[in-house]
Amino acid sequence: MKDFAEMTTARTDLAPIGSLWIDGMLSWLEVASLRSFVELGHDVVLYTYGKIPNAPAGVVVRDAREVWDTGEILVYNSANSPALHADIFRVMMARQVGRVWVDTDVIALRPFTRDVRWFLGHERGDKLELGNAVFGPPQDSRTLNELYAFLTSPQPVPPWMKGKHREEIARRWETDAGFGIGDLPWGTFGPKAVTQFAIATGELEHAAPQTAFFPVTFQDRKVLVDPRKTEELEALMVSAESYSVHLYSRWMRKVCTRSDLGLPDPDSWIGRWAAKHGVIEYPSAKTAAPAPETTAPPRDATAKARQQEIAQQEEQAATAAAEAALADLEARKRLVPGGANTSRHGKVRIVTMAKDEGPYVLEWVAHHHVMGFTDILAYTNDCTDGTDEMFDALAACGLCTRLDNLPWKDKPPQSRALHWAEQNPLVTGADWLLVMDLDEFVCVKLGDHRIDSLLDEVTARKATGICLTWRFFGSGGEEEFGSGPVTERLVHAAPDSFVKGYGIKTLFKTDPHLALAIHRPYLNTRFARTEEGQAYPVEWLNGSGDPIDGKDLKWRLNSRQIGYKLAQMNHYGVKSREEYLLRRLRGDVLDNHSKYNAEYFGLFDRNEVEDRSALALKAERDALIADLLKVPQVRAAADLVENRRQAKLERLRNSADFKDEIGGLKPYPIDTAIKMKRK
């Protein structure tokens, strides 16, 4: 067999391949899948929202935001499965860049030549159902484009469902403000959707027979790991001239955990394939000494040990990074212009997470520093616009601490950041804590407008937290991405009656019984009661100082719970029209696929009331920014951010659809927006 490195030159007569891996290490199964295509000469791109430390040679790893720019990984809530995200992503990828999608548990058996054109196949023999583990209709196919339109519609109702189910989903979209795309049944956007639109467009005739891409059906999947079926299965796939075989990863992993090695049987079809292609090295039966029977490990011990080893490596890497970043914290704080903050309430800290927020970092950090927060801990991932450089420059001045948002299991960035934060000394040693985003600004309306004045009021009322209700700020009719501070450019916002704006962020007194979450911490159910048997108290206030039982809250308040008298959370989720469109910039074209569509803009571009609450400490903030820009590292970061901002704006303004997209962004009348239902 040739060395694998000799097989990694892509052939131009083969279809380009694409897939998605959210983040983190690949297992032998994903490595086997990707290598099978590279070995045959395919151009293979693996898109990711994080980092993949062990992508096989010949696989090009690219930022998934090139296809779908989103900070949210969509999941089917019933199974907490990112399959929903992948179901939508594959359609976007096929439509935008023309790559043939393959799941990372598909093994290529022979080349996918371009002359095939329709990479679409039947998945079952007992009933009509197309698969989407291999998916690549031509870019101009009606199936692909109508499927895309359905998947990206704001309130999709699957047309193939029975009447009562369709009516129920339509009713929930209309009446349930908390209903979202993740609440649809598991697999809604998978094979059933592909089948529906192939039938509706008449393009079903292009689908290959089941043996072409899916010679082993889900119902017959056990033959893949049964040594007794190896020769029979191989003969079947050869005679059928199958292009690929699907391994059904969730099931395959369960099977492997039952073996001593955590791997498929070496004499099974997949075991032989993986060994032959150098993906798995099985121990030699001749040299391996059997362990004494009394000390034999559990059947799944090896698999668990491997998982534990990876988890341990992740934890060690995160711990080492945190220790290194915090080692000189006190020394850095001595460099803060005007001196480091102290609080009569102890250590009052912010945790944030960011991806490409470069133009806003300096203002955001300065705003919250002059408010009196004692520390800011920022986790960032995959930034390309100067976000990391600006945070690092400000960290060198003692104003914050930045850490890479490292991989953790298969979790998306937000979950990873919260996990690492819970172990970080800045969090475990905090007295008060607030988890918030870069498009949010805390505004205190009493006393000297600083955080201590707010905490004085909270503690005087014997509370342990305050829920800061969102106030949505709109574009103010601005089209261009101005260079001034966000809080000065945008001073018009939603009225109190805007029910979509009742989301919260919570400033709370730290407590080992509480677990971090993005909107509010949650009481660990193990501590639902005190040692005396009483209900554990979570006594918080709303933004007007009225008492709220924190145990009963979700991520948002209702109209009876909101309040803005003491403080609020200014939420700049829209900004100018150009800033809004920059969320969707892809190369030289605009992305129309994320939640940031015209409807989202119409709902949240609220400008009914003037609100300058964020400018109460403007003079001090401006003086701090001026001092910081005299620091060479900060100045260099600011110049880098601005250069990259201008480059993005040029690409945006030169895109073919720019004028149409800008013209399509209009706010809905407030009465209409209040009535509309959206998650």
Whether residues 202 and 350 fall in one domain: no
Confirm whether 300 is domain-assigned: no
Confirm whether 278 is domain-assigned: no
Distance CA 10, CA 39 (A): 9
Q: Which residue has the higher pLDDT, 558 or 8?
A: 558
Largest CA distance in the chain: 81
Confirm whether 167 is domain-assigned: yes
Confidence of residue 121 (pLDDT cuts 50, 70, 90): very high
pLDDT per position as a tens digit, 315-338: 888 888 899 889 999 999 999 999
Whether residues 338 and 483 fall in one domain: yes
Confirm whether 299 is domain-assigned: no
Q: Which of 23-37, 98-112, 175-189, 455-469 has the lowest mean pLDDT?
A: 175-189
Distance CA 391, CA 353 (A): 11
Distance CA 324, CA 106 (A): 41
Distance CA 125, CA 309 (A): 41
Report pLDDT for 531: 62
Q: Which of 76, 56, 64 is nearest to 101 (CA)?
A: 64
Share of the chain above pLDDT 90, in %: 64
Q: Which of 593, 673, 452, 639 is nearest to 93 (CA)?
A: 593
Q: Which of 187, 66, 72, 182 is nearest to 132 (CA)?
A: 187
Report pLDDT for 310: 73
Report pLDDT for 237: 94
Report pLDDT for 211: 94
Report pLDDT for 8: 45
Whether residues 647 and 510 fall in one domain: yes
Beta strands at 348-354 and 609-610: parallel, antiparallel or unpaired:
unpaired
Element (H, E) at 135: strand 134-135
With a cut of 90, say whether residue 3 has pLDDT above it. no
pLDDT per position as a tens digit, 279-289: 888 875 433 33
Report pLDDT for 375: 97
* Single-letter code of the amino acid located at 500: K
Beta strands at 17-20 and 100-102: parallel, antiparallel or unpaired:
parallel
Contact yes or no for 551/522 (Cβ under 8 A): no
- Return the residue matching tokens 């007007």: 544
Region 164-185 average pLDDT = 86
Report pLDDT for 36: 95
With a cut of 90, say whether residue 87 has pLDDT above it. yes
- Cβ of 554: how many Cβ atoms within 10 Å? 11
Report pLDDT for 527: 54
Confirm whether 465 is domain-assigned: yes
Report pLDDT for 558: 87
Distance CA 374, CA 530 (A): 31
Report pLDDT for 532: 63
Distance CA 423, CA 429 (A): 10
Confidence of residue 194 (pLDDT cuts 50, 70, 90): very high
Report pLDDT for 260: 66
Distance CA 253, CA 234 (A): 22
Radius of gyration of the chain (CA): 27
Confirm whether 230 is domain-assigned: no
pLDDT per position as a tens digit, 415-431: 889 999 999 999 999 99
Q: Calculate the CA 574 to chain-centre distance.
A: 19
Residues with Cβ within 8 Å of residue 374, at least 6 apart in sequence: 340, 341, 342, 343, 347, 348, 349
Q: Is 484 exposed, middle or buried (0-12, 13-18, 19+ CB in 10 A)?
A: exposed
Token representation of residue 623: 């003086």
Output the CA–CA distances (angstroms, integers) from residue 562 to 175, 501, 584, 654, in the order listed: 21, 10, 32, 43
Q: What is the dihedral of CA 98, 99, 103, 107, to 10 degrees?
A: 140
Listed residues 211, 235, 258: the one ending a domain: 211
Q: Which of 455, 443, 430, 562 is nearest to 504 (CA)?
A: 562
Domain residues for the domain of 59 are 4-211
Report pLDDT for 5: 37
Q: Which residue has the higher pLDDT, 537 or 33?
A: 33
End-to-end CA distance of the chain: 54
Total number of domains in the chain? 2
Q: Which residue has the higher pLDDT, 262 or 235?
A: 235
Give counts: helices (H), strands (E), the chain. Answer: 23, 23
Token representation of residue 299: 């059947």
With a cut of 50, say whether residue 293 has pLDDT above it. no
Listed residues 211, 233, 267: the one ending a domain: 211
Distance CA 336, CA 329 (A): 11
Confidence of residue 513 (pLDDT cuts 50, 70, 90): confident
Q: Which residue has the higher pLDDT, 290 or 147?
A: 147
With a cut of 90, say whether residue 408 has pLDDT above it. no
Confidence of residue 500 (pLDDT cuts 50, 70, 90): confident
Report pLDDT for 583: 75
Listed residues 211, 240, 272: the one ending a domain: 211
Confirm whether 360 is domain-assigned: yes
Report pLDDT for 4: 36
Report pLDDT for 308: 73
Region 145-158 average pLDDT = 90
Distance CA 269, CA 262 (A): 16
Report pLDDT for 303: 56
Q: What backbone phi and psi angles, to 5 degrees, belong to 372?
A: 110, 5
Token representation of residue 626: 């001026």
Report pLDDT for 10: 66
Distance CA 198, CA 354 (A): 40
With a cut of 90, say whether residue 25 has pLDDT above it. no
Confirm whether 546 is domain-assigned: yes
Q: Calculate the CA 87 to chain-centre distance.
A: 15
Distance CA 311, CA 525 (A): 25
Distance CA 76, CA 85 (A): 9
Distance CA 481, CA 190 (A): 38
